[in-house]
Amino acid sequence: DAKTTQPNSMESNEEEPVHLPCNHSTISGTDYIHWYRQLPSQGPEYVIHGLTSNVNNRMASLAIAEDRKSSTLILHRATLRDAAVYYCIRSRTTSGTYKYIFGTGTRLKVLA
């Protein structure tokens, strides 16, 4: 199955770090791991992606397990604006098959 597994919901206090886990145990060697988030009443927006090494950008960090069967999105200091549904996605590489298959995501609640 191409879909990933994430907890349905998580809570965090404002200004604290948040670690959002994702399981992708059937990932193949060339599939990328992507994270998107969806703010209320908006389309999903890109957060970060990676293949094997940990990745950092201005929004977040992505930690990928050595066996690539799981990954963690890290928000270093959660703000109220980070309250959203976060989707972990693996992208397929086989020509002719679909790509960017979304799961149900994790709804992050940030407490003031």
Partner 1 sequence: DADVTQTPRNRITKTGKRIMLECSQTKGHDRMYWYRQDPGLGLRLIYYSFDVKDINKGEISDGYSVSRQAQAKFSLSLESAIPNQTALYFCATSAGTGGTNEKLFFGSGTQLSVL
Residues that bind partner 1 (CB under 8 A): 30-32, 36, 42-46, 49, 51, 87, 91-93, 96, 98-105
- Which residue's CB is nearer to partner 1, number 9 or number 17? 9
Q: Which two tokens stand for residue 1?
A: 């199955």
The number of residues making up the chain comes to 112
> Exposed e or buried b for every residue in 54-68, given b needs 16+ CB within 10 A?
ebeeeebbbbbeeeb
Q: Tell the smallest beta-carbon distance from residue 91 to partner 1 (Å).
A: 3
- Which residue's CB is nearer to partner 1, number 50 or number 83? 50
Q: Tell the smallest beta-carbon distance from residue 71 to partner 1 (Å).
A: 15
Q: Tell the smallest beta-carbon distance from residue 95 to partner 1 (Å).
A: 10
Question: Beta strand 61-64 with 9-13: parallel, antiparallel or unpaired?
Answer: unpaired
Classify 100 as helix, strand or coil.
Answer: coil
How far apart are the C-alpha atoms of 12 and 106, rounded to whole Å?
A: 12
- Which residue's CB is nearer to partner 1, number 41 or number 67? 41
Q: Tell the smallest beta-carbon distance from residue 96 to partner 1 (Å).
A: 7
